[in-house]
Amino acid sequence: MRRPLVSFASVLILAVLLLAFRSDDDLFELRKNFEIFGALYEEIATGYVNDVRSAPFMRAGIEAMLSQLDPYTQYYDQADMVDSRLLQQRNLGGVGISIGSRGGRLAVLAPDGDASAYRTGIRPGDVLLQIGESATDGMTVVEANELLIGQPGTVVNVLVERQGEAAPRSFSLPRVRPSTNDVSRFGWLGPDSTDGIAYVKLEQFGDRSGREVKRAFRTLNRRVPLRGMVLDLRGNPGGILAEAIELVSIFVPNGSLVATTRSRADDSILEYRTDAEPYLPDTPLVILMDEYSASASEITAGALQDMDRAVVLGRTSLGKGLVQVFRPLPHNATLKLTISHYYLPSGRTIQSTRYSSAAATVTVPTLLTFTTPAGRTVRGGRGVEPDVPVDMPEPSPMETALRQESAFFLFANQWVAERCDAMAVCTGTDEDMLREFRQWVDRQGFALTTDLDLLLVEMQAASQDAGFAELTSNLRSLQTAIERAKQQQLEAESERFLSNLRHEVRSRLLANQDMVRADLEDDVWVQQALELISDRRTLADILG
């Protein structure tokens, strides 16, 4: 007796909905493929040699289909949605990566939340091989997320495979409690408030971001009239488009065009404009961005750049110019579906990556050059490019390796526990901290794997395979030399290491405003922004 095909019925319901949006030319192909799919599923479900569990079987098929699209289109079944709500209620810490199933393996997706793990060195496309002690073979996304979360202040080790590299990489990712506010910091730049330069750090675009940013600037403006503003969107993965529109409305005239979306359905074009009078229409504004700023943060910065209202300082942003919406499916499942492209006021798109498969292609425009009202040239198809690039060195291989091990994070936990009291008073100088950090790193026995180490592993494997005994011996000598160079670099990089350590310690001890003041003095990007916004002539020249 054939069992009822509940899952197939759901598929047919979805098929009917899809058919309503397709032209007559497509109807035959759609009907044909749904008939094939239904017959195939029924034959396997009823005639396969052993029992087939319908839920994981269908889930595998869904994930295989979505892997042909862009990485932001994702399926969530009822269990996923329940687990997501439970995680929020349990007040646990996350590691700041977004993962999905790609080709039957767990892969890191582009930032879609806290970008802290990406700053540690995790990259989109990395395949998760192991989480803690558990191999990921056969693991679902929900099971992986359960292993990644935990008590804030702890770390979880992950092993990843990166395309083009022979050896896997290991990372120790700190678990951090999500911020309850979208604006995590605000205060004055400079030694005090007399210069009237305000600073606001926005972590994400949640459901009150616009109000929080306006409240922060208003609070500072009431104390001292603002003469300049720095809005920090570094690492901001975006979020709610409406909040980006509200934020932009603080600075530009009512009715200003902020973004346009264009979708395939009915050739739909929607315009998003500000609908409030500006609070700070003339105060000079500098926006900080980096390669992890995405989506709504790119729309905010790009729109203000296109309107010649703000100077963008930093690095080219991620380039996520695709719009997602959540569509309800039968049985409390949900589809997050990419439906359109964002376009900025100049007409450019911020989408920088072309996603292509045999099934579908998300393209980027070939026309890259656009013009602002003041005649400045901006480019599309590559994220938001800064008006003023930040000129600073990349982290050294040793600093990168220490971040991979979360060494600064873990040592700060120990230093605060042993050296600081309940009143945030600590014993020991910066020199003491640095000396104890080096000793602690030695005791921990961190591998401190650099790109050079990974290259050496590949060379050793190739040498052994080829039977080059003398070369293998020389490579062992090279490995000893590399370890010696690491120790020398550990000594030479003291100032950068100390800056990382001071930040981690301050984050555990100081109130928000005190931490802002102390952190900003060490922040090269912010100091460049302060220098720029204080130079009105240069600022005016950039804005045309």
What are the DSSP calls for 485-508, one per residue?
Answer: HHHHHHHHTHHHHHHHHHHHHHHH
Nearest to 524 by CA among 503, 541, 542: 503
Q: Which fold has domain 194-322+348-390?
A: 2-enoyl-CoA Hydratase; Chain A, domain 1 (3.90.226)
Domain 74-174 = CATH 3.40.190.10: no
Q: Which of 176, 178, 177, 252 is nearest to 210 (CA)?
A: 252
Q: Is residue 498 predicted with pLDDT exceeding 70?
A: yes
pLDDT for 409 beyond 80: yes
Spell out the alpha helix ranges (H) of 75-155: 78-89, 116-120, 141-148
Lowest mean pLDDT among 99-108, 336-345, 526-535: 99-108
Tell whether the model's pLDDT for residue 119 goes beyond 80: no
Identify the pLDDT of residue 2.
Answer: 44
Q: What would the pLDDT profile of 133-164 be if each residue is shown by its tens digit?
A: 999 998 888 788 889 888 888 999 999 998 88
Report pLDDT digits (tens) over 436-454: 998 898 888 887 777 777 7
Residues 290, 235 contacting (CB under 8 angstroms) = yes
Q: In whole angstroms, how far apart are CA 246 and each of 66, 183, 281?
A: 33, 14, 14
The residues that bridge with 322 in the sheet, in sequence order, are 341
pLDDT band (50, 70, 90) for residue 278? very high
9 pLDDT above the threshold of 70: no
Fold equal for 74-174 and 194-322+348-390: no
Q: Is the pLDDT of residue 91 over 80?
A: no
Q: What is the pLDDT of residues 36-88, one digit of tens each?
A: 988 998 899 899 999 998 888 888 888 888 888 888 888 887 766 555 555 55
222 three-state secondary structure? helix
Is residue 322 within 8 Å of 72, Cβ to Cβ? Answer: yes
**How many Cα atoms within 13 Å fall on the side-chain side of residue 477?**
6
The answer, yes or no, to whether residue 331 has pLDDT greater than 80, is yes
Handedness of CA 238, 243, 248, 251 (dihedral sign): negative
For 289-312, how does the pLDDT look when each residue is reduced to its tens digit (9 = 90+)?
Answer: 999 899 999 999 999 999 999 999
What are the residue ranges spanned by the domains of the chain? 6-52, 74-174, 194-322+348-390, 397-449+493-522
Q: Which residue type is seen at 102?
A: R
Q: What is the pLDDT of residues 220-275, one digit of tens each?
A: 999 999 999 999 999 898 889 999 999 999 999 999 999 999 887 667 889 999 99
pLDDT of residue 4: 43
Q: Which residues are within 8 A (CB) of 15 and not within 5 positions of it... i.e. 6 or more apart?
A: 30, 34
Q: What amino acid is encoded at 199 in this protein?
A: Y
Cα–Cα distance, 70 to 72 (Å, whole number): 6
- SS3 state at 267: helix
Provide the 3-class DSSP secondary structure of residue 75.
strand
Exposure of 40 in the CB half-sphere (CA atoms within 13 A): 9
Has residue 21 got a pLDDT over 70?
Answer: no
Residue 508 pLDDT greater than 90, yes or no: no
Residue 141 CB neighbours (<10 A)? 20
